[in-house]
């Protein structure tokens, strides 16, 4: 089978390494992939949002199955376009990807179907939003409607900060057009859990839970990033919490999307907060998380390609989705300065052991050598029987990843360890 994977980060590298385990796979093309992914797939310089070119490439190369991994091509209808040419795909169509593409859509969906989430109001008029903030409970959370490159969330600790955020979004357009509509919502507290799930639109099979570390600095300080490391499973996701999530959130969400005529097939990511009132949805993503994927897929014992195709074909109910009863830790090595400004173009070297455990997110190949090309450069994952061992191993192996200005958080997994105690 010839496969195509759209995307070019650490998540896509993890997906490709997992897909390669299936003996029927003869070739994998990554569009665009990256210098590190080139060790495991044929990288083709077509951007992940260049849908016309992606479709043309898939047709010309007789692709048997495509995996569309990032949010933006999904929201733009990449799956619809590929399916239109008869190419089966993993990933939701645009009408279902809107669950991530529009926060107004997802909040209204949850309200309509009684799915637990933070209380909220939607505004498309700045004066009304500012007036609402005169009496809204503080802290408050302000979210731009669109994808906003994953950055459109501001947590305001004072009324003035909240008003400034609204002005920045609606008048200053700091997140572009996605600031035309905003959501102002209740500030929730409690540990966060990421649950990625497979769904064929009928049944939903959650993957092992995970914990992201979103802030740039140790002890959750500094700016929000795409994620500086992950562990799986997440100790806050107890069997009782898992059962409540299934009954109160996962199944109702699948049913709600069906009732709206927007059946969701692919990976539905539930960003959850375990509040004193029970689990609530912070956000939905229409795709695998990054770097959650780098701890979840290494624990997957069943065959990824078989599961993905069953999501496409509607046969997930009969398909085994089994995870190892182990622990995984992924440590991101980033360019110092990320997520703000950082230097790139430095030589990236990895020991043989490090390369075997590392997913490359931001590097390019030049004259056969890897050079850093992004903020998040690599993710190094270790699997072990216990969480302390997984953390220790991930850090030990990540030491074999080297480049000038390399930066890692030193406390990935520590919060999970505290929770276990």
Which partner in ligand GLY, ligand AMP, none is near 292 (CB below 5 to 8 A by kind)? ligand GLY
Interface residue with ligand GLY among 292, 328, 387, 408 (CB under 6 A) is: 292
The beta-strand segments (E) located in 109-243 are 120-123, 140-144, 153-156, 182-186, 192-199, 204-206, 211-212, 215-217, 221-224, 229-232
Question: Across-strand partners of 186?
Answer: 140
Which partner in ligand GLY, ligand AMP, none is near 227 (CB below 5 to 8 A by kind)? ligand GLY
Range in contact with ligand AMP (rule: CB under 6 A) among 183-191, 197-205, 250-258, 313-321: 183-191
Query: Would you give the binding string for ligand GLY spanning residues 176-215, x where CB under 6 A is met?
Result: ------------------------------------x---
Backbone angles phi, psi at 276, to 5 degrees: -60, -25
Range in contact with ligand AMP (rule: CB under 6 A) among 79-87, 186-194, 202-210, 322-330: 186-194
Return contacts of 15-18, CB within 8 angstroms, 24+ apart: 15/67, 15/69, 15/288, 15/293, 15/297, 15/304, 16/40, 16/41, 17/297, 17/359, 18/297, 18/300, 18/304
40: CB partners within 8 A, 6+ apart:
13, 16, 17, 20, 28
Which partner in ligand GLY, ligand AMP, none is near 188 (CB below 5 to 8 A by kind)? ligand AMP
CA distances from 103 to 62, 182, 381, 416 (A): 36, 8, 32, 29
- CB of 236 within 8 A of CB of 193? yes
Site for ligand AMP contains 282 (CB under 6 A): yes
Scan residues 131-160 and list those touching ligand AMP (CB under 6 A).
Answer: 141, 153, 155
- CB of 74 within 8 A of CB of 89? no
Which partner in ligand AMP, ligand GLY, none is near 282 (CB below 5 to 8 A by kind)? ligand AMP
Site for ligand AMP contains 51 (CB under 6 A): no
Count of residues interacting with ligand GLY (CB under 6 A): 7
Instruction: Give a three-class secondary structure readout of 263-299.
Output: CCCEEEEEEEEEECCEEEEEEEECCCCCCCHHHHHHH
Site for ligand GLY contains 100 (CB under 6 A): no
Tell me the residue number closest to ligand GLY, measured at CB.
289
Query: Would you give the binding string for ligand AMP spanning residues 99-128, x where CB under 6 A is met?
Result: -------------------x----------
**Comparison of 58 and 304: residue with beta carbon closer to ligand GLY:** 304
**Comparison of 72 and 292: residue with beta carbon closer to ligand GLY:** 292
Q: Which two tokens stand for residue 244?
A: 């409540």
CA dihedral 188, 189, 190, 196 (to 10 degrees): 30
Site for ligand GLY contains 285 (CB under 6 A): yes
**Comparison of 89 and 286: residue with beta carbon closer to ligand AMP:** 286
| Binding stretches for ligand AMP (CB under 6 A) | 118, 141, 153, 155, 185-188, 192, 214, 271, 282-283
């Amino acid at each position: 089978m010839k496969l195509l994977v759209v995307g070019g980060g650490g998540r896509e590298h993890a997906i490709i390494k997992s897909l390669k385990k299936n003996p029927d796979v003869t070739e994998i093309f990554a569009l665009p992939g990256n210098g590190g992914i080139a060790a495991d797939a044929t990288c083709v310089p077509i951007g992940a949002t260049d849908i016309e070119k992606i479709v043309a490439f898939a047709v010309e190369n007789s692709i048997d199955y495509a995996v569309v991994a990032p949010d933006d091509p999904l929201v733009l209808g990449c799956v619809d376009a590929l399916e239109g040419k008869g190419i089966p795909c993993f990933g939701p169509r645009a009408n279902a990807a809107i669950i991530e593409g529009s926060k107004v859509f997802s909040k209204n969906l949850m309200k309509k179907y009684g799915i637990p989430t933070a209380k909220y109001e939607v505004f498309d008029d700045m004066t009304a939003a500012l007036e609402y903030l005169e009496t809204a409970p503080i802290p408050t959370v302000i979210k731009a409607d669109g994808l906003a490159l994953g950055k459109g969330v501001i947590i305001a600790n004072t009324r003035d900060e909240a008003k400034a955020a609204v002005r920045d979004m609606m008048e200053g357009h700091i997140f572009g057009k996605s600031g035309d509509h905003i959501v102002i919502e209740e500030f929730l507290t409690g540990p966060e859990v990421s649950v990625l799930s497979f769904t064929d639109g009928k049944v939903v099979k959650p993957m092992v839970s995970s914990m992201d570390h979103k802030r740039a600095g140790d002890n959750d300080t500094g700016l929000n990033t795409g994620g500086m490391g992950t562990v799986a499973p997440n100790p806050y996701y107890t069997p009782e919490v898992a059962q409540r999530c299934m009954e109160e959130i996962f199944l109702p969400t699948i049913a709600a999307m069906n009732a709206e005529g927007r059946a969701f097939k692919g990976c539905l990511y539930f960003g959850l907060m375990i509040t004193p009132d029970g689990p609530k949805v912070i956000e939905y993503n229409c795709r695998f998380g990054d770097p959650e994927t780098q701890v979840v897929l290494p624990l997957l014992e069943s065959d990824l390609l078989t599961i993905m195709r069953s999501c496409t074909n509607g046969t997930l109910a009969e398909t085994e989705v089994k995870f190892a009863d182990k622990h995984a830790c992924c440590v991101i090595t980033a360019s110092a300065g990320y997520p703000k400004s950082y230097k790139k173009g430095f030589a990236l070297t990895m020991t043989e052991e490090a390369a075997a455990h590392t997913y490359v997110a931001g590097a390019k190949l030049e004259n056969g050598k890897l050079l850093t090309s992004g903020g998040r450069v690599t993710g190094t994952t270790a699997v072990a029987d216990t969480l302390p061992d997984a953390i220790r191993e991930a850090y030990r192996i990540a030491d074999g990843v080297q480049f000038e200005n390399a930066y890692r958080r030193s406390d990935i997994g520590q919060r999970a360890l505290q929770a276990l105690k």
